[in-house]
């Protein structure tokens, strides 16, 4: 069968392409403005990519078109699919029908940390010899591709609350029917499709409804929005997690920090110490992620001590505080953070690790929610752990310039926050006064105009 995918370079649709190819289908796809790592992965799999959207891409006609949720009516390729009566469906529906049926699905949902937690859980199962299938919304460093079928009954999946397609407004994760479900957290996001956080709670409740009574839900002990979602109805056992004393009551799983940056901690199960986890990851958010992955792995038979041993060897995920370069003590990182909470936890984790060494954050507010200015009340404060913050106003957002302008008026002696309108001006600003050592964190959920390679090249040039 020839399957053509619209929006193929998105992390989810690109992973579907890998699975379809492994199933033996001929796979092609279209996308606008492709960029690594997904484009590189697809090309290495022998999947043909077409730039832009055109009715010509559907000649000869494919047997099936999978339409990504970024596609809308008016897109020339979408219109051609409809007018020519070509068979089509959403990515999540195809995945559920062709891959997930009759498998034990372990799903990871939440506003933050889905990709990392999914990768952690997958790595634990891999080290235990499970040969699980998986789909990760990114590229885990410990695996060559972002998805595979696997040979066991188990399938690990990153479960996104975003809608499935323009013709299917259900959240993607409702299609997956997990037996084991991790709920990382719940905050307001995706303002382009959700009116308020209550609407997201309702979608999470729909997901909870699909978990069998013999299944398991793992969640943080302290999260009021998850409380609300579960209060709408829950028919499955629930285990909770906590770090230190953040929960006023006893929890099923707890971590006691042995290092402030989260790089060492004791895992405790039912108040009994299990083992010390020492790894290269930082931040309290990753400690929470690890506890959830350990709990979920135990549900399918991996003992907590073996799970901890596996995570001690966990390499992480591309674009999650990925170290791109170290030029004479100037370290450049790539991070996917696209929400104030993610920005805050990531930078605080780095601050705990590097102490007083300077941190410079380059942040592109790129998600639909960010571009609408929904989070502007908490945005500047989310970067407090950085010494200097350059905000990329590449889409000419008036609210961002006004927000930083108000800061500069109220804090005339503090030049922590600045706005730049182009990648070139951002790089020029960085190079004006670059201390050594220092840590430069590039934060965006997109390609950020290719700033990563350009900045590293300029730093290497001036330090050569």
Annotated binding site for ATP: 110-116
Write out the E strands in 300-450.
322-327, 330-335, 359-363, 388-392, 417-420, 438-443
Q: 274 and 308 in contact (C-beta within 8 Å)?
A: yes
Distances (CA, A) of 434 to 255, 328, 439, 459: 37, 12, 10, 9
Among candidate residues 361, 230, 253, the one with its CA nearest the CA of residue 307? 253
CA–CA dist 158, 138 (Å, integer): 9
CA–CA dist 355, 287 (Å, integer): 19
Binding residue ranges: 110-116
β-strands 147-148, 133-135: how paired? antiparallel
For the chain, how many helices (H) and strands (E)? 15, 23
- Segment (H or E) for 196: none
Among candidate residues 360, 319, 354, 359, the one with its CA nearest the CA of residue 338? 319
CA–CA dist 352, 441 (Å, integer): 15
> Exposure of 45 by Cβ count < 10 A (0-12 exposed, 13-18 middle, 19+ buried)?
middle
């Amino acid at each position: 069968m020839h399957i053509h995918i619209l929006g193929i370079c998105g992390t989810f649709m690109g992973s579907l392409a890998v699975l379809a190819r492994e199933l033996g289908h001929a796979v092609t796809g279209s996308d606008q403005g492709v960029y690594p790592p997904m484009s590189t992965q697809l090309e290495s799999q022998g999947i043909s990519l077409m730039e832009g959207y055109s009715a010509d891409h559907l000649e000869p006609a494919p047997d099936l078109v999978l339409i990504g949720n970024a596609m809308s009516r008016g897109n020339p390729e979408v219109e051609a699919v409809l007018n020519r009566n070509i068979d089509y469906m959403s990515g999540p529906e195809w995945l559920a029908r062709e891959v997930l049926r009759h498998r034990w699905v372990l799903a990871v949902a939440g506003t933050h940390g889905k990709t990392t937690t999914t990768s952690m859980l997958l790595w634990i199962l891999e080290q235990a010899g499970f040969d699980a299938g998986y789909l990760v919304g990114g590229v885990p460093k410990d695996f060559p591709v972002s998805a595979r079928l696997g040979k066991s009954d188990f399938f690990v999946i990153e479960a996104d609350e975003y809608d499935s397609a323009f013709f299917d407004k259900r959240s993607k994760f409702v299609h997956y029917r997990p037996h084991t479900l991790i709920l990382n957290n719940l905050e307001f996001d995706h303002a382009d499709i959700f009116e308020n956080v209550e609407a997201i709670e309702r979608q999470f409740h729909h997901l909870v409804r699909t978990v069998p009574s013999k299944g398991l839900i793992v969640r943080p002990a302290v999260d009021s929005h998850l409380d609300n979602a579960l209060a709408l109805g829950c028919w499955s056992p629930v285990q909770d997690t906590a770090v230190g004393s953040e929960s006023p009551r006893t929890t099923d799983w707890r971590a006691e920090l042995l290092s402030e940056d989260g790089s060492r901690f004791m895992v405790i199960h039912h108040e009994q110490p299990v083992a010390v986890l020492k790894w290269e990851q930082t931040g309290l958010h990753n400690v929470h992620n690890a506890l959830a992955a350990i709990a979920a792995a135990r549900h399918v038979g991996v003992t907590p001590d073996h799970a901890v041993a596996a995570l001690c060897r966990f390499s992480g995920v591309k674009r999650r505080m990925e170290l791109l370069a170290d030029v004479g003590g100037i370290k450049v990182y790539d991070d996917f953070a696209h929400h104030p909470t993610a920005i805050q936890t990531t930078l605080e984790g780095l601050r705990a690790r590097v102490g007083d060494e300077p941190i410079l954050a380059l942040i592109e507010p790129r998600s639909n929610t960010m571009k609408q200015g929904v989070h502007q009340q908490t945005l500047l404060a989310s970067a407090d752990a950085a010494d200097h913050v350059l905000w990329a106003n590449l889409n000419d957002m008036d609210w961002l310039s006004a927000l930083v302008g108000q800061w500069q008026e109220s804090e005339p002696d503090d030049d922590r926050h600045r706005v730049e309108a182009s990648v070139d001006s951002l790089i020029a600003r960085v190079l004006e006064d670059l201390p050594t050592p220092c840590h430069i964190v590039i934060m965006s959920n997109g390609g950020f105009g290719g700033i990563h390679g350009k900045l590293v090249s300029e730093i290497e040039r001036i330090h050569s």
